[in-house]
Amino acid sequence: MKTLTPIAAAMLVAFSVNTFADNNMAILIQVGNGNMADADQSDPTILNNLIVQTLIGTSNNSAASQTTGTSHSMAANLQVGELNSSNSLQQSDTSFSSIFINQVGSMNEADIIQLGSALSLAFIAQLGIGNMHTATQSGVDQTARVVQIGNDNMATITQ
């Protein structure tokens, strides 16, 4: 049985503790093949969040979340090619939140939901092929922007 060296153990504890810190961050970048990224920033009522996900080629997928007492959050999903898809959710007490989803080519689809938010922004730009979009915001002083350029476009915004 291997034991952890003191340095490895200290690093493990440092990274484990950071998971529940109140100035959250997650950056996921994937480049080829069966992509899929997911970041959550699991509650204990969360504070200065950021999630950035970049998926570049083939089976893309993404999801972000920043639940319950989300505060100065941001989630940015960028996908470039093939079977794109994306979701983002910033829930309950979100304020000053932003979600940007950019998708470039193939079977695009995007969802943004910000609930209980104030002064939040949802921005989606999709360029080609299967496009689709949904943004649901609830709260006050919401802004939602959609740019869709080619093929099977469709958009829904509910504020």
Exposure of 41 by Cβ count < 10 A (0-12 exposed, 13-18 middle, 19+ buried)?
A: buried
**Cα–Cα dist 107/59, whole Å:** 10
Query: Between the CA of residue 113 and those of 6, 30, 75, 87, 150, what are the distances in Å?
Result: 43, 24, 11, 8, 24
**Cα–Cα dist 66/46, whole Å:** 8
**Cα–Cα dist 114/104, whole Å:** 23
Confidence of residue 65 (pLDDT cuts 50, 70, 90): confident
Q: What is the pLDDT of residues 81-97, one digit of tens each?
A: 999 999 988 887 777 78
Output the pTM of the full model.
0.75
Statement: residue 117 has pLDDT above 50: yes
Of 33-42, 64-73, 74-83, 122-131, the one with minimum mean pLDDT is 64-73
pLDDT of residue 6: 52
Mean pLDDT of 57-79: 86
Mean pLDDT of 42-59: 84
Strand arrangement, sheet containing 89-90: 89-90, 111-118, 134-140, 157-158
pLDDT of residue 100: 92
Question: Which ranges in the chain belong to alpha helices (H)?
Answer: 6-18
Strand, coil or helix: what is 115? strand
For residue 153, what are the contacts with CB-CB under 8 A and spacing of at least 6?
Answer: 126, 131, 132
Please state the φ and ψ torsions of residue 126, each to the nearest 5 degrees: -125, 140
Q: What is the pLDDT of residues 19-50, one digit of tens each?
A: 455 788 889 899 999 999 988 887 777 778 88
> Residue for token digits 């089976």?
59
Percent of the chain past pLDDT 90, that is, above it, reads 32
